[in-house]
Amino acid sequence: MARLPLSLLLVLLLALPALAEDAQEIRRDLTYATVGSKELKLDLYRPENATGKEPLVVWIHGGGWRRGNKRNCQLRWMTEHGYAVASIQYRLSGEAIWPAQIHDCKGAIRWLRANASRLGFDATRVGVGGSSAGGHLAALLGTSGGVAALEGTVGGNADQSSRVQAVYDQFGPADFSTMGRGGGAVGQLLGGAPAEKPEAARLASPTSHVTQDDPPFLIAHGARDRLVPLDQSRRLTALLEKAGVPVTLRVYEEAGHGGPAFGRQSHRAIVRAFFDQHLKGATSTSTPTVTAPSRTIATWSAKGRHATARLEHTVLRDEKRQKDLQVRVTYPTSEGRFPVLVWSHGAGGSKEAYGPLVDHWATHGFVVIQATHADSRKLARQRGGLERMFAGFADRPKDVTLVLDSLTTLAKRMKDWRGTFDTQAIGVGGHSFGAHTSQLVGGVTTGGVTSGARASHRDARAKAVLLVSPQGRGGELDQASFTTLTVPMLTITGTRDRGRGGQPFTWRLEPFSYAPPGDKYAALIDGARHSFGGITGHPPNRRTGPANVEHVNAVKALSLLFWQAYLRGDDDARALLASDRIAVESARSVRVTSR
């Protein structure tokens, strides 16, 4: 039977109008107006394969009206779901006082509508969103349609409407009569305290202009916001409800003025469902409710029933390689027969990492063994960059084999160990370079690209492999390398999980695409980065991106489902992986495809 081409397999895999943020057509610094000597610009993002019929969502940045820029586009991810997205610049309060800011925003909307055919989107379906000061301007765009004093003439295009069809307001000020005593951001915006500038404060307040013909609103606010009190959004919500305007207020009890709650996949799903309903013509007349998080993910990411212990450090000796291997074992302290998982760290990592995953699996009755490979920065002998680390790829599978050869030795060293190893239920997994190691142990061959000769690193004791952010073609791997990966496999990646050479997430799906069909799964998590918001257990940083509990929970749940299905023969877990249930429950923010 002929093999389906990769491009077709990926289409079947994704089966959705979603594209990665990496797969975008980007046009930066389009000038929409010139005021005096200042050019006002916007950035436009479109899906790579856009038809020109996509709705448009406009993002307005925050920063207290006196700082911030259009590069911080928090709705850019909407291109993954069939939207064009524009992020606009406006004059800051240090450049011009009120109402210059709303004049600029309305001028941008008119210019975008006037140029929609040329730029490629549907001018009749325009939504707007913003956070903080940007949320205020977005809300005002929604309530001030037809208010001549706020229209302005910036950019011309007077024949075009500045009205919008949907508003997403993220903790924006709504009633200036109750904010600011002078000075500060509000005073700088208005040119004086609201009490000193009552008319300016009234015109600047979205609450002053609410009418029954305003577009639908989605408002999100943190209960602990000390900069813009939650009462601001509650006032606006009450007035919109009284006028009969569809409005939903989402309050996050743990959130302040911003924070992780507003970037989580569950919240993104709500935002997307809101715009889908009001810009894509859904028939429902109320704001859709979205189950968040997925019930399946919540269930399978919960802690298991087993108490656990840890052999923090022990050393295994490989006489053939004249090598000492540092090992850590995390295990249940219950009696029973337990499957064994060998987990491999990423380049430069160590056995001390990945606590969120390792501890989760152990509480569900798995023995998890981690080795510190020779590329670890924890080892004093390791010097050099990534290329040197990757050069030792063939040594890593031998570490896995040594671990499996040493199970009896390890059992004697494990304090409080009362169980036995199920040696017929061994799984091997890893993250990043560790996923590369795991796929080699699972049967992927190397060497064909450079030498023509192929090498196998297979250990037949591995009955299933978990690949979190694996490598696709390149270096020692070509398409044929994956044709020998016959064991059950789950690949997990995210739409923002790029390769070290800049490859998009589709590259990390190649092991799934090229491996022979049968018990193969690929899971794609919207917005997830390479570290999935914290699976390593290390604090977040600029390189890894912010913490994301929902992404971590998705990896925990998906991996446990896979181990249960193929190391414990759990038919219900296998059925869940093969179904569309996780995608439906998560509003398609987590999608699993099987072959």
* CATH code of residue 100: 3.40.50.1820
User: Assign residue 4 a region: left if phi > 0, alpha if psi is -120 to 50, beta otherwise?
Assistant: beta
Per-residue confidence band for 563, with pLDDT thresholds at 50, 70 and 90: very high
| 436-448 tens-digit pLDDT | 999 999 999 998 5
The residue out of 284, 313, 347 marking a domain boundary is: 284
**Is 481 domain-assigned?**
yes
The Cα–Cα gap between 199 and 190 comes to 10
Average pLDDT score over the chain: 88
The residue out of 255, 284, 313 marking a domain boundary is: 284
| Choice between 44 and 196, residue whose per-residue pLDDT is larger | 44
308 and 266 within one domain:
no
330 and 251 within one domain:
no
> With pLDDT > 90 as the criterion, what percentage of the chain qualifies?
69
439 and 356 within one domain:
yes
pLDDT at 135 > cutoff 60: yes
364 and 231 within one domain:
no
Report yes or no: 185 and 65 within 8 Å, Cβ to Cβ.
yes
Query: What is the gyration radius of the CA atoms in the chain, in angstroms?
Result: 27
**Is 9 domain-assigned?**
no
Mean local confidence (pLDDT), 399-414: 97
Per-residue confidence band for 100, with pLDDT thresholds at 50, 70 and 90: very high
* Domain coverage including residue 149: 31-284
Into how many domains does the chain fold?
2
**Is 14 domain-assigned?**
no
**Is 441 domain-assigned?**
yes
Residues with Cβ within 8 Å of residue 45, at least 6 apart in sequence: 24, 25, 26, 73, 76, 79, 84, 85, 86, 87
**Is 410 domain-assigned?**
yes
Residue 438's identity, in one-letter code, is S
**Other beta carbons within 10 Å of 37:** 5
